[in-house]
Amino acid sequence: MITPSLSPDVFARYPGLENLGRTATRLHPRPGSVTAAGSHVGGPLRWPADEPWPTCDLPYMVQEEVPLPAELVARLREAESRRTQAHVLADGEVELHEEIARLVGTGFSGWGSVDGGQVVGYRYGPRSHPGPNPMIPLAQLRAVDVPDLPRPGGADLLQVLWCPFEHTVPPWGPTVELRWWREADLTDLRAEPPRGEAGADEYVPRPCRLHPERIVEYPYPDELPEHLRRLVDKHEDYLDTFMAPGWKVGGYARWSLTDVLPTPCPRCAGPTTLALVIDSSERGSARWQPRRADGEPDDDSYEPTEVIVGRYGALRIFVCLSCPDAPFLLDQQ
The count of chain residues that interact with Zn ion, using the rule CB under 5 A, is: 11
Which position among 82, 267, 291, 292 is part of the footprint of Zn ion (CB under 5 A)? 267
- Minimum CB separation from Zn ion for residue 128, in Å? 9
The nearer residue to Zn ion, 67 or 126, going by C-beta atoms, is: 126
User: DSSP code of 297?
Assistant: B
100 vs 276 by CB, closer to Zn ion: 276
Q: Which is nearer to Zn ion, 133 or 301 (CB)?
A: 133
Q: Is 149 among the residues that bind Zn ion (CB under 5 A)?
A: no
Question: What is the nearest approach in angstroms of Zn ion to the Cβ of residue 141?
Answer: 21
φ, ψ dihedrals at 133, nearest 5°: -95, 120
250-259 per-residue burial string, b: 16 or more CB within 10 A, e: under 16: bbbbbbeeee
Cα separations in angstroms, 128 against 53, 131, 133, 167, 217:
19, 8, 10, 10, 41
Cα–Cα dist 58/7, whole Å: 48
249 touching Zn ion, by CB under 5 A: no
In whole angstroms, give the CA distance from residue 35 to residue 181.
Answer: 17
* Alpha-carbon dihedral sign for residues 281, 283, 288, 290: positive
Binding Zn ion (rule: CB under 5 A), the pick from 198, 257, 260, 268 is 268
* 61 binds Zn ion per the rule CB under 5 A: no
Closest separation between CB of residue 157 and Zn ion, Å? Answer: 21
First to last CA, the chain: 26
265 touches Zn ion by CB under 5 A = yes
Given candidates 207, 323, 330, 332, which one binds Zn ion under the rule CB under 5 A? 323
Q: How far is the CB of 22 from Zn ion (least distance, A)?
A: 20
Tell me which of 56, 73, 100, 210 binds Zn ion, using CB under 5 A: 56
Give φ, ψ of 315 to 5 degrees.
Answer: -105, 130
What is the contact surface with Zn ion in residues (CB under 5 A)? 56, 133, 163, 165, 265, 267-268, 270, 320, 322-323
